[in-house]
């Protein structure tokens, strides 16, 4: 015969499992929402007549995504334009409140691996390569000039 404490112990273990699951789900929701909330700060920061910081960031990502037949080299692997743009969007979400300006975006999300520190490069169909930072700053200059 089992001791009287066996059902109580089983109930406590089940309760702990439920509490752990709820806590894990809460932490996951928090991890997903904090970068999104921080991103709202960028959207509400107005710049001068040359467009908001978020507009500039969106322009740079769209410029990358629109490139044809290029290879983005990240940590020695080659990616197409859509994959590169998607990766920049992911890094932007993960950077959260660290990205307040378009220059922050270029520094934290669009120029080098945050893991290895290896600079991103873009290889064009004619074979020439350019560092992603140079491409981004050139595009930003043309955005500002067109405004």
pLDDT in tens, 56-90: 999 999 999 999 999 999 999 999 999 999 999 99
Q: How far apart are CA 67 and CA 75, in angstroms?
A: 20
Would you mind telling me the total number of residues written for the chain in this entry?
A: 147
Tally Cβ neighbours within 10 Å of residue 140.
20
Structure token pair of residue 10:
């089983």
Q: How far apart are CA 56 and CA 101, in angstroms?
A: 9
pLDDT value, residue 49: 37
């Amino acid at each position: 015969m089992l001791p009287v404490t066996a059902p109580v112990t089983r109930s406590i273990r089940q309760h702990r499992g439920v509490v752990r699951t709820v806590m894990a789900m809460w932490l996951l929701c928090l991890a997903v929402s904090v970068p999104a909330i921080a991103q709202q700060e960028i959207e509400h920061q107005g710049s001068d007549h040359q467009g908001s910081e978020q507009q500039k960031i969106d322009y740079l990502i769209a410029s990358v995504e629109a490139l044809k037949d290029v290879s983005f080299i990240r940590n020695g692997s080659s990616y197409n334009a859509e994959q590169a743009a998607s990766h920049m969007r992911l890094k932007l979400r993960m950077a959260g409140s660290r990205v307040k300006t378009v220059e922050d975006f270029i520094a934290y999300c669009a120029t080098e691996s945050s893991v290895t520190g290896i600079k991103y490069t873009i290889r064009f169909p004619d074979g020439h390569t350019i560092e992603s930072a140079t491409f981004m700053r050139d595009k930003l200059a043309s955005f500002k000039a067109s405004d």
